[in-house]
Amino acid sequence: MQRIGLVGSGFMAMTHATSYQEIECAEVVAVASLDEDRETFAAEKTPDADVYNDAEKMMAEADITAVDICTPTPTHRPFVEAAVEHELNIFCEKPLARTVEDADAIVDIVSNTSITFMTGHVLRYFPEYVEAKRRIDAGEVGILGTLHTERLSSPPRYGTNSWFGDREQSGGVLLDMAIHDFDYLRWVVGEVDHVFARTAEWDDGHLNEHSSVLLRFEDGTAAHVEASWGYPEGSPFITSYELAGDEGLLEFDARDENAVRISGGAEGTNAPVSPLAKSPYTKELEHFIDCAENGRDPDISPDDARQAVRIALAAIESSERGEPVSPMEVGA
């Protein structure tokens, strides 16, 4: 049984607290948050948990075996370092860090321990994306050539002190949201050689950004990632992909009955995705708990999370410089 200390009381902490209620080998026994609503949050989501206003105090005093870090990105490194000091297993929300320096430090420190460490790249657990990866790996679309993904929404209007709207903290739409697609595409294709990006930005009281990112992978595959925090408030959250090879095409659009459409040489005409009995967030946390209980390495490695950060930061730098940037240049 993993006894979880949950760090944070915002949207993702709420999502994780709900998921842990469905996992037999896990229980949230402590919550730490600076927010004034932490007592209310705990009473509603983790009624048997002890409540702290200091995460490091919780790590030192609470009877926990793991921490789940759901706090603003710049806090990830100090909380990971504190958890390692107390020999606690760690689940850390994405992105791993705000800078390459912090990402490198996290990877170094967790790699020198026997603890279980996993970053929340949850897109790998969404059935539409899992299905596409399975079919690509099976060779159903042939050799990949061009890929396109969308992740579009209005600016996030939640978060302590509106931290999402502060690019120094969140990294904006590319580091906080497009990183989902960067990690997924790297998982599907392989390493990224260079990135070229353009970003439009405006302020209406919230940070609005719309980014178009071109990725060139080392094997020659090309991808286009479109990410937006520029849609009007109340707009539906939109995700989609088109993954094309020389023998077939896989398509998914959240606006179109949640089915993976297949054309070309791939088998079948479409692949309806059944509603999940468990949310992708529950599935990723189940995997983390299983690895912690059985001493296995998670499917998402610390380096996977670091490389996703590098790609996102390369896209940000490319937007600023107006030229292609290699992920390996960032922070060098």
11, 45 contact by CB (below 8 A): no
Residue 186 counted as domain residue: yes
19 has pLDDT over 60: yes
Instruction: List, for residues 237-261, the tens digit of each pLDDT value.
Output: 999 999 999 999 999 999 886 678 8
Distance (Å, rounded) from C-alpha 81 to C-alpha 266? 46
Average pLDDT over residues 298-313: 98
Q: Are residues 106 and 15 in the same domain?
A: yes
pLDDT in tens, 77-124: 999 999 999 999 999 999 999 999 999 999 999 999 999 999 999 999
| Start-to-end Cα distance in the chain | 41
Q: Which of 3-17, 99-113, 194-208, 290-304 has the lowest mean pLDDT?
A: 194-208
Enter the DSSP assignment of 325: B
Is residue 163 within 8 Å of residue 217, measured between CB atoms? no
Q: Has residue 291 been placed in a domain?
A: no
Q: Are residues 321 and 215 in the same domain?
A: yes
What is the predicted pLDDT for the residue at 263? 78
More confident residue, 223 or 257: 223
185 in Cβ contact with 218 (< 8 Å):
no
Please indicate, yes or no, whether residues 188 and 92 belong to a single structural domain of this protein: no
Residue 113 inside a domain? The answer is yes
Residue 325 has pLDDT above 80, yes or no: yes
79 plus 128 within the same structural domain: no
| pLDDT score, position 36 | 85
**DSSP per-residue string spanning 22-85:** T-TTEEEEEEE-SSTTHHHHHHHH-TTSEEES-HHHHHHHS--SEEEE-S-GGGHHHHHHHHHH
Verify that 82 and 218 share a domain, yes or no. Answer: no
Summarised one tens digit per residue, pLDDT across range 45-84 is: 999 999 999 999 999 999 999 999 999 999 999 999 999 9
Same domain, 95 and 127: no
Kind of pairing, strands 144-152 and 117-120? unpaired
Tell which of 97, 120, 143 closes a domain: 120
Domain identity same for 71 and 208: no
CATH number at residue 246: 3.30.360.10
**pLDDT confidence of residue 273:** 54
**Is the same domain home to 187 and 72?**
no
pTM of the model: 0.95
CA distances from 122 to 54, 147, 163, 211 (A): 27, 20, 21, 21
Task: Pick the last residue of a domain from 102, 120, 138.
Answer: 120
Tens digits of residue pLDDT in 130-184: 999 999 999 999 999 999 999 999 998 775 667 787 888 899 999 999 999 999 9
Chain segment 264-281, per-residue pLDDT in tens: 665 555 555 555 568 999
Residue 219 confidence class, pLDDT cut points 50, 70, 90 = very high
Q: What gap in Å lies between CA 212 and CA 198, rounded to an integer?
A: 5
| Coil vs helix vs strand at 276 | coil
- 289 lies in a domain? no
Q: Are residues 105 and 131 in the same domain?
A: no
Which residues form the domain of 116?
A: 2-120
Is position 77 within any domain?
yes
What is the reported pLDDT for 192? 98
Residue 299 lies in a domain: no
Per-residue pLDDT at 215: 98
Same domain, 193 and 78: no
Provide the 8-state DSSP code for 114: S
Per DSSP, the residues of 222-245 read: EEEEEEES-SPTTPPPEEEEEEEE
Average pLDDT of 198-226? 95
- Evaluate whether residue 320 is within a structural domain: yes
Strand order in the sheet with 66-69: 50-52, 26-32, 2-7, 66-69, 89-93, 117-120
Q: Are residues 96 and 131 in the same domain?
A: no
Contact between residue 76 and residue 69 where contact means Cβ atoms under 8 Å apart: yes
Does the N-terminal peptide bond of residue 298 adopt cis geometry, omega within 30 degrees of 0? no
Q: How far apart are CA 188 and CA 137, in angstroms?
A: 8
Domains in the chain: how many in total? 2
Does 153 lie in the same domain as 72? Answer: no
pLDDT of residue 166: 86
pLDDT mean across residues, the chain: 93
Query: Sheet harboring 248-253: ordered strands across?
Result: 192-203, 207-217, 222-228, 144-152, 238-245, 248-253, 259-264, 270-272
Q: Which of 69, 97, 120 is the last residue of a domain?
A: 120
Residue 6 lies in a domain: yes
Element (H, E) at 303: helix 302-321
CATH number at residue 105: 3.40.50.720
